[in-house]
Structure 1
Amino acid sequence: MKFLDHPSRNLFFTGKGGVGKTSVACATAVKLADSGKKVLLVSTDPASNLDEVFDVSLENHPTPISAIPTLSAMNLDPEKSAAEYRERMVGPYRGLLPDAAIKSMEEQFSGSCTLEIAAFDEFSRLLGDPAVTAEFDHVIFDTAPTGHTLRLLTLPSAWDGFMSQNTTGTSCLGPLAGLQEQQKLYQQSVRALCDAATTTLVLVARTESSALREAARTSEELAELGVGNQHLVINGVFQAVDTTDPYAVALQQRGAAAIDEIPAGLNAFPQTTVPLCPGVILGIDSLRRLGTLDSAVATDVADESVSGDDELAPLSGLIDDLVAPGHGVILAMGKGGVGKTTVAAAVAVAIAQRGYDVHLSTTDPAAHLEAAMNDERLPNLSITRIDPAAETARYSEEVLSSAGANLDEQGKALLQEDLRSPCTEEIAVFRAFADAVAAGTNKFVVLDTAPTGHTVLLLVSALAYHREVTRQSSEMPEAVENLLPRLRDPDFTRVLIVTLAEATPVHEAAALQRDLRRAEIEPYAWVVNQVLSSLPLTDPLMKQRQKHEQQYLREVSQQQASRVAIIPWQLQPPTGIQGLSRLTHCDLSTSPS
């Protein structure tokens, strides 16, 4: 891995779920520790599997890895950090202020921005205060702060006390008095992130167009904020061993095509390619091999039938029940890169082909729906995109013309800055999402990219949600007011959790399901995409991956979901009406013909 030729002290790894950033980060930590450096590996992923990778129980403090004396690791729990952060801000006022005031302060720290700032608060101790990590030569972070988080920290009014002149004394970050105490530490952390001599941002992607586009978007967003020392890792590069296996050849060609079309901005950075590993990356030995040719060598796989999906139905098995109510909302939810856009489009096409009016929409800024549909249309299928920029502009104009109408110049300046917060976009898109759900009262609405589990949890507390949505505007739209009851109604809303038969996507999907259930929203079914188990494979590396996915299919069907549908890996990318129709008409014995 080229970034290890002259490694900076801090290395941040970022990328979509399932691209392998944890494996690459762990392998980096092991290689540096093997060279004699003292290394601290930190994960802020709520679904972190560092414990599983190293076979050790980790907490929120450095724990030595016994097999490598110079390596320590730790997990940071963002939700626990948020709770502790909230108590640090509110605790000193308990007993001094009325209970109602304390309750209000707690609600002010219930928004999604608080979770991000709390996570960054943990980062800052390790990044901005050299004394905390003085014993280590390198600190490696699995999951970097997002551009969203860093933009929050650049809001100047969060630091100069200007908000104290606001009648509420709050911003999207909550009460600002507590934040000002952290100002110096946060500023030191941001400076360290932007210092090329100190920090390297490693963008991890797979040989898939969507993962490379996400890496490019993240790269641009962080570069605009001054994080310029970046390195691209293209993980999972596949080379067919058996060129008579059409699936292996197709996978190799698809990966090569994605690399050939890599976004121009990424080509400016140094690059490392990592061969596709046939199995799960667990243990020190497998981490040492990652990135070498040895990691792409498949071990012998017995020539036996793979039957882990015998009782799992194809996606076509869900359609009859999905259309039974005659109208309603179908949500395709899941982490980036698992194929939820494709699943949403396939379901919408299948329902439209049965004669129902269907509206298909997405909040994806990259507008993948157009690519999935290949610009083809059905007469009773309409397609739109919730454009975050347009929705934010519309919402901001509405707030300025209502809430800002009677403010003086200083008050308007405050409000305009507050509207520049990334939280404004979240609220604006959330309102547009509520409008789209409301349309399901008289037709089918299929939505790709729903609110995150954390955003949905805001609905559980009426006071917290009301504060978040109406802080800038005094009106609560009807669609927003009725959103939670509609999402909780199983006859109106069906949630499809989309995942892959791999460790990170399955574990992140499980975390999403827990969030939904805490909000009293029960998922209708899980859809496992790109399954190899039913395919007649002959390539040894593909067969080994086929074998390894069994444990995750069992985990989904036996531990997570009461209803599961699978989609076999397709020789041709499922785009256009015909390609999408294959996903809802195919059986599980898909053949190359």
Structure 2
Amino acid sequence: MKIEQYNPSKTASTKYLFFTGKGGVGKTSIACATAVFLADSGKKVLLVSTDPASNLQDVFGLELNNKGSEIKEVPGLVVANLDPLAAAAEYRESVIGPYRGKLPDSVIQSMEEQLSGSCTVEIAAFNEFSEFLTDDEKAENFDHIIFDTAPTGHTLRMLQLPSAWSGFISESKHGASCLGQLSGLDSKKSVYKKAVETLADGGLTTLVLVTRPETAPILEAQRASDELGALGINHQTLVINGILESHDTNDKVETALFEKQQTALKSIPDSLLKRSITMVPLRAYNITGIENVRHMLSYSGSGAAGTVSNLPNGYQLSDIVDEIYESGKKVVFTMGKGGVGKTTVAAAIALGLSQKGEKVRLATTDPADHLNLVVGQESGISVSHIDEQDELKKYQEEVLTKARQTMSEEDLEYVKEDLRSPCTQEIAVFRAFADIVAKSKDETVILDTAPTGHTILLLESTQSYNQQIENSGGDVSTAEKELLPRLKNPNDTEVVLVTLAEATPFYEAQRLSDDLKRAGLTVKWWVINASYSMTDTKSEFLRAKAANEFQWIQKVSEISEGQYAVIPWKPFEVKDEKLLELLCEEDESSKK
């Protein structure tokens, strides 16, 4: 599939550019490269990042703030780095502060957790960049204003609901995840209205969907495109980052990478094919420093080739399986952001424990039949497939049935939107998982999709809240109540955090780890998946990529205190009998 290379001068036909995409696809890098390209072309450019995992300061090599800093090496470019986590904390306190000392501590705790999720962070980020989006002076001073990370369809729908501005505060009355996050922003209603209108104006705004030539990120781009299109934001363009344009046919790893990418590109959904599509070639070097940012859109050199010969001492996945088996732990979570391989790691751990004679149940949200067909054939393994959409639908209907007894139609619309949030889906899936654990006797239960620390704390605060105040819905089930204490017992539960040796996946995993610690869960093991540094590639290009993985492996080594394993990138799709190769110590590509 031949795709034209991305050229900002063609894409940047509007004043405002919003870059969005799944974590780790390279949207920050492409946003930075676009900003530098346009500034080098003589334009005055403001680049604003609202990404909590942003490495913008590393990219430009200087401390940034939320006011804007001039980049001396790039005349005409000003960069602002907003901190949505700090903004969310300030906003949370502005909402809750007036109630301190007036409501019971348990209610305050519940409200704090209601306002601690990703939805609130995104609302706070939208609050921050709305000022940039609606500021007439900035519009006059800059030819282009570029935003790294766009709001999701969920956030934008929430902002458009009339009941969001009616003073309606739920305080967990129906069991959903993040109601009330707009309760302190009534004074911003007109600003938000103008911001949403600007986003939907194709003459002012272009939405740049960034993805990778891989199945999961492409499907995520389709979902985002459809959601935003349904809200009238139709001026979209798709940029596929990291395409290997050619390959060394003598190197099996590089050839396999090329073929995997081409297969993914052939499966691009029809709805995305209707959009303008361009590509950025795969780069072996890290996109940090002004020169590398400039090179990203024009220079295909691999940088310094080499191999990483002094990796920190780590383990293999089989070592983690041995530790779980010897410890006798009965609940195992593999956690991580989408696309890092947590389902694959969960299935491999299940196989490893089964081979040791353990009776294992793998609870998965992966709809792929191969888990049932292959894992199920192994002695002692049972597979429970959790259908996320079915579980979400059941939970939504349960909550709405109870809410209809006390709420107006206007407020019900607010509840319905809240029930579309990612955290609500976590709750629905967790309920199904809790039921599986409750019914499973004398089994080790492994789950590939686990709730975040925020969701666990939300379930606990809802439980506490329900104990003191009459509540019409959203009760924590008995199975959930029994499971929550088990999760916090390090003698019973193992959390395996899965990431990649790249900037954004690492920072997101680090934030997830902090979130779990806040909820009282211990993360002992980290797994770095799909590492080129652990392959036997002879390709100069891939050896350069491998060398650039070292800093992220080093960071994982430090944060995990050496409790981590590295899985080599595999020249095949890891499924079926190939899962066993993740545990195979004789695999030459796995040797250090």
**TM over 0.5, yes or no?**
yes
Give the equivalent residue in structure 2 for 1:5.
Answer: 10
Matches of 1:22 and 1:573 in 2, distance apart? 28
2:308 counterpart SS class? coil
Asked if 1:233 corresponds to 2:233, the answer is no
Map of 2:302 onto structure 1: 298
After superposition, give the CA deviation of every residue in 1:442-501 in whole Å (9 maximum; x if it has no partner): 32221112223433454675788769x996516332233244322211122111111111
2:103 counterpart residue number = 100
- Residues 179 and 144 (structure 1), Cα distance of their counterparts in 2 relative to 1, 3 Å cut: same
2:270 to 260, 264, 272: 264
Cross-structure match for 1:392? 392
Identity among equivalent positions (%) equals 43
* Alpha-carbon spacing, 1:36–1:462, altered in 2? closer, same or farther (3 Å): same
2:158 to 148, 152, 156: 152
1:384, CA displacement in angstroms?
Answer: 3.4
User: Match for 1:378: what amino acid?
Assistant: Q
1:181 matches 2:184 = no
Q: Could you tell me how far 1:514 is from its partner in structure 2?
A: 1.8
Change (3 A) 1:571 1:489: same
- Cα deviation for residue 543 of structure 1 reads 1.2
Q: Map 1:353-392; keep pairs closer than 5 Å.
A: 353-363=355-365, 367=366, 369-370=368-369, 377-378=376-377, 380-392=380-392
The root-mean-square deviation of aligned C-alpha atoms, in Å, is 3.2
Counterpart check, 1:330 vs 2:332: yes
Q: Is the 8 A contact 2:534 2:568 kept in 1?
A: yes
Q: For residue 445 of structure 2, what is the aligned residue in structure 1?
A: 445
Instruction: Report the alpha carbon displacement of residue 286 of structure 1 after superposing the two structures with TM.
Output: 0.8
Q: CA deviation at 1:123?
A: 2.6
Partner of 1:579: 578
- Within 5 A, what are the aligned runs for 1:138-537? 138-160=144-166, 163=168, 172-174=178-180, 178-292=184-298, 294=299, 296-299=300-303, 301=305, 306-309=308-311, 311-326=313-328, 328-363=330-365, 367=366, 369-370=368-369, 377-378=376-377, 380-402=380-402, 404-405=404-405, 407=406, 411=408, 414-415=411-412, 417-421=414-418, 422-423=420-421, 424-438=424-438, 442-458=442-458, 473=473, 475-537=475-537
Deviations 1:23-46 (A, max 9, x none): 111101111111122212122222
Q: Quickly say closer, same or farther: Cα 1:348–1:138, change in 2 above 3 A.
A: same
SS in 2 for 1:446: strand
Q: 8 Å contact 1:19–1:204 — kept in the other structure?
A: yes
Contact 1:169-1:175 within 8 A present in 2 as well? no
Structure 1 stretch displaced more, 135-144 or 413-422: 413-422
Could you say what secondary structure the match of 1:282 adopts? coil
Return the TM-score normalized by structure 1.
Answer: 0.88
Contact 1:208 1:255 in 2 (8 A): yes
**Structure 2 alignment gaps of length 5 or more:** 1-5
Kindly indicate whether the alpha-carbon contact (under 8 Å) linking 2:535 and 2:589 is maintained by their aligned counterparts in 1: yes
Alpha carbons 2:50, 2:125 under 8 Å: kept: yes
How many Å separate the matches in 2 of 1:524 and 1:356?
Answer: 21
Give the equivalent residue in structure 2 for 1:21: 27
Aligned to 2:54: 48
CA contact (8 A) 2:18 2:148 kept: yes
Q: What residue identity is the alignment partner of 1:188? A: K
Aligned counterparts of 2:133 and 2:462: Cα–Cα separation in 1: 36
After superposition, the Cα gap between the structure-2 partners of 1:306 and 1:79, relative to the gap in structure 1 and judged at 3 Å, is closer
Paired residues for 1:111-130 under 5 Å: 111=114, 112=117, 113-130=119-136
Displacement, 1:385? Answer: 3.7
CA distance in 1, matches of 2:72, 2:170: 54
The residue type equivalent to 1:418 in the other structure is V
CA deviation after TM superposition for structure 1 residue 572, in Å? 1.7
Look up the SS of the partner of 1:527 in the other structure: strand
Number of residue pairs the alignment of both structures matches: 576
For 2:272, the aligned partner's letter is L
Per the TM alignment, residue 316 of structure 1 is displaced from its structure 2 partner at its CA by 1.2
Q: Deviations over 1:383-413 (max 9, x none)?
A: 33433432233223333555545x4xx6466
Letter in 2 for 1:544: A
Range with bigger deviation, 35-44 or 178-187: 178-187
Q: 2: CA distance between counterparts of 1:164 and 1:27?
A: 42
1:287-340 Cα distance to aligned partner (Å, 9 max, x none): 111122x2x2224535xx632347322211111221235452211111222111
CA distance in 2, matches of 1:478, 1:127: 47
SS of 1:558 mapped into structure 2: helix
* 3-state SS of 1:377 partner: helix
CA distance in 2, matches of 1:238, 1:138: 30
C-alpha displacement of 1:523: 0.8
Structure 1: segments with no counterpart, 5+ residues: none
Query: Structure 1 225/105 Cα, relative in aligned 2: closer, same or farther at 3 Å?
Result: farther
SS in 1 for 2:113: coil
Alignment CA distance shift 1:374-1:30 (3 Å): farther
Distance change >3 Å, CA 584–CA 138, structure 1 → 2? same
SS of equivalent to 1:265: helix
Please give the secondary structure, in 2, of the residue aligned with 1:473. coil
TM-score (norm 2): 0.88
Partners of 2:392 and 2:537 in 1: CA distance: 48
Verify: 1:84 aligned to 2:90, yes or no. yes
Per-residue CA shift, 1:138-181, capped at 9, x if unaligned? 121111112221232233311356x4899989994327653332
Secondary structure at the aligned position of 1:25 is classed as helix
After superposition, the Cα gap between the structure-2 partners of 1:425 and 1:589, relative to the gap in structure 1 and judged at 3 Å, is: closer
Task: Supply the distance in 1 between the matched residues of 2:504 and 2:194 (Cα, whole angstroms).
Answer: 32
* Cα offset, 1:131, TM superposition: 4.2
Residues 138/300 of structure 1: CA separation in 2 closer, same or farther (3 Å cut) = closer
The verdict on how the C-alpha distance between 1:176 and 1:232 changes in structure 2, with shifts beyond 3 A counting, is: closer
Separation in 1, partners of 2:545, 2:509: 20
CA contact (8 A) 2:84 2:124 kept: yes
Give the deviation of 1:518 after TM superposition: 2.3
Distance 1:102 1:82, change over 3 A: farther
- The DSSP-based 3-state class of the residue aligned with 1:312 is coil
Q: Secondary structure at the match of 2:103?
A: helix
Q: CA 1:208 to 1:493, structure 2 compared with 1: closer, same or farther past 3 Å? A: same
**What letter matches 1:557 in structure 2?**
S
Aligned partner (choices 9, 14, 39) of residue 33 of structure 1: 39
Cα separation, 1, equivalents of 2:555 and 2:570: 23
CA drift at 1:13: 1.3
Q: Tell me the amino acid that sits aligned with residue 68 of structure 1.
A: V
Are the counterparts in 1 of residues 358 and 443 from structure 2 also a CA contact under 8 Å?
A: yes
Mapped to 2, the partners of 1:166 and 1:508 lie a distance apart of 28
